[in-house]
């Protein structure tokens, strides 16, 4: 599961723990010439991935709900990497707005060949106590928003593949798709749907040259879950995160960057990123 951690836990640290790769470690031309779109880019895994893509030479469209963090990140990427960056405030659950955002990306950066559908919501509670509005939010963001993200950019990806270039559609999933977390039934259901969707799209789009993959983190340090309403579940989340050395958003971003930089003939189809302690 990708957990809400607004600060890095200091519990259960290990002397052998090493930091993730710094942005400075990313080869400058690794993604040169590519046009990337990242949803949920204002914080966490999305922002860390944007930093690595920009450092690697890609033009990057930053999509997210909050304009402030997007603008701040865009300014940083331009300053530190001389990157071509476009911040686009948009709600991925609004199909018309997402379609307009896709047009804005094409007009400013060109046609994307790399899409990371990262926007997500994790709101846990026992089934009988949950606020059903939270169910709707997770279904809308984790599934419908991810579906529409792929849909509005799929023609761009197919055309890139037909031209002989690498083309990637990356879905952020979670180990909650496979592992049972009793108080996260709807979250787990949405992520299981993402896993099955990814596998079916890979069968459909892979023969046409588009690499479709899922990246499934566990215990990642992100803002995910910050809006959870159920107090006891929030307390349980704190207990779980303090019991293990978590991974960071940067760790997951490093894995994503590697997966999209391999030769076009290679698809790292399913990538699970977990703390070593989980085995």
Q: How far apart are CA 40 and CA 44, in angstroms?
A: 8
CA angle 83, 86, 92 (to 5 degrees): 135
C-alpha distances in angstroms, 205 versus 150, 152, 210, 211, 263? 12, 15, 5, 7, 17
Nearest residue to 40 via CA among 171, 129, 136: 171
Catalytic, 187? Answer yes
> Which are the contacts of 203, defined by CB distance < 8 A and separation ≥ 6?
none
Q: How far apart are CA 271 and CA 259, in angstroms?
A: 8
> Which are the contacts of 191, defined by CB distance < 8 A and separation ≥ 6?
142, 173, 174, 176, 177, 216
Beta-strand pair 35-39/59-64: parallel
Q: Which of 3, 184, 187, 258 is catalytic?
A: 187
Nearest residue to 43 via CA among 18, 24, 69, 63: 69
Residues in the chain: 279
Q: What is the DSSP letter of 61?
A: E
**What residues are annotated to the active site?**
187
């Amino acid at each position: 599961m990708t957990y809400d951690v607004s600060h890095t836990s200091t519990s259960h640290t290990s002397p052998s723990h090493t930091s993730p790769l710094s942005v400075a470690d990313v080869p400058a031309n690794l993604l040169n010439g590519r046009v990337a779109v990242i949803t949920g880019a204002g914080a966490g895994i999305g922002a860390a991935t944007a930093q690595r893509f920009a450092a690697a030479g890609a033009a990057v469209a930053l999509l997210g709900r909050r304009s402030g963090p997007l603008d701040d990140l865009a300014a940083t990427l331009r300053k530190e990497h001389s990157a071509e960056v476009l911040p686009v405030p948009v709600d991925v659950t609004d199909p018309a707005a997402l379609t307009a955002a896709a047009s804005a990306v094409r007009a400013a950066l060109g046609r994307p060949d790399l899409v990371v559908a990262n926007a997500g919501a994790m709101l846990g509670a026992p089934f009988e106590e949950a606020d059903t509005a939270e169910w709707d939010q997770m279904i809308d963001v984790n599934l419908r928003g991810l579906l529409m993200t792929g849909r509005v950019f799929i023609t761009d990806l197919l055309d890139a593949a037909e031209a002989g270039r690498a083309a990637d559609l990356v879905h952020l999933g979670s180990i909650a798709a496979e592992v049972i977390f009793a108080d996260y039934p709807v979250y787990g259901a949405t992520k299981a749907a993402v896993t099955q969707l990814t596998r079916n799209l890979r069968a459909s789009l892979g023969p046409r040259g588009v690499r479709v993959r899922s990246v499934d983190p566990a215990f990642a340090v992100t803002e995910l879950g910050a809006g959870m309403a159920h107090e006891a579940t929030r307390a349980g989340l704190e207990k779980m995160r303090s019991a293990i050395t978590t991974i960071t958003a940067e760790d997951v971003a490093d894995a994503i960057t590697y997966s999209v930089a391999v030769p076009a003939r290679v698809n790292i189809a399913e990538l699970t990123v977990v703390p070593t302690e989980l085995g």
